Chains A and B, each alone.
Chain A
Amino acid sequence: MATEAPLTESRPKPNPAGPAIVAIAAWIVPGLGHLLLRRWGRALGFFLTTGGLALAGFALRGEIFSPHSSDSFGALGFVADLGSGIFYFLSRFLETAGPDISRAAGDYGTRLIAASGIVNLLGVIDAFGIARGWRG
């Protein structure tokens, strides 16, 4: 019978921060929720992937949706963008030239920024589940 490979991340000790605190931390700074749970690999993974997608989207001059969008697509885009936490709040400093969706690259950038937020929201759910003991 094959032995199971050792875990790279030890099971967290009882977490002093509540699940809600962990979820909020994970949203504001991608990976911070997992860091509070001592899940180093996941923390690094979520920070790099969320940040990488957001920065690539900004470099491609993707559109960042505002909370005052007039249509449902814009509202959904805002929710997706907001999911990336600090990268959304810093977007005006990181994308100084503003969006340019007249080019295809700008349109790709819009999708990458939205994907960044969705990936981080998955991380928020994962961190919340770990803090509640639902996930290993």
Chain B
Amino acid sequence: MFGAHIHLSHFGAMVIFALLVSIAFACIGRHTAATRVKYALLSFLLFLAIGLGVAWLMYPLSR
């Protein structure tokens, strides 16, 4: 932003994506603050778990 650059690993980019998209989903899908926090947390953890799971499934293909 304004010329600033950052370097992220694939995992780091996935964490940013998962966190922000989970918050957006929670804003759409839930109405109270407490349920939004729970929903965002669950969605974030599922993003990470499924992402890591798919990464490990694809690991043999990279060798």
Contact = CB atoms under 8 A, between A and B. Distances in A.
Interface of A: 5-9, 41-42, 45-46, 48-50, 52-53, 55-56, 58-61, 93-97, 104-105, 108-109, 111-112, 115, 119, 122-123, 126, 136
B16 A56 contact: yes
B13 A45 contact: no
B10 A136 contact: no
B3 to A, nearest CB: 4
Given A96-B2, A105-B13, A41 B33 contact: yes
Interface of B: 1-8, 10, 13, 16-17, 20-21, 23-24, 26-28, 31-36
Contacts of B20: 48-49, 52-53, 56, 115, 119
Contacts of B6: 56, 59-60, 105
Main secondary structure of the interface of A (DSSP, over half): helix
B5 A5 contact: no
B23 A48 contact: yes
The residue in A48, A60, A136 that gathers the most chain B C-beta atoms within 10 A of its C-beta is A60
Contacts of A115: 17, 20-21
Contacts of A93: 2
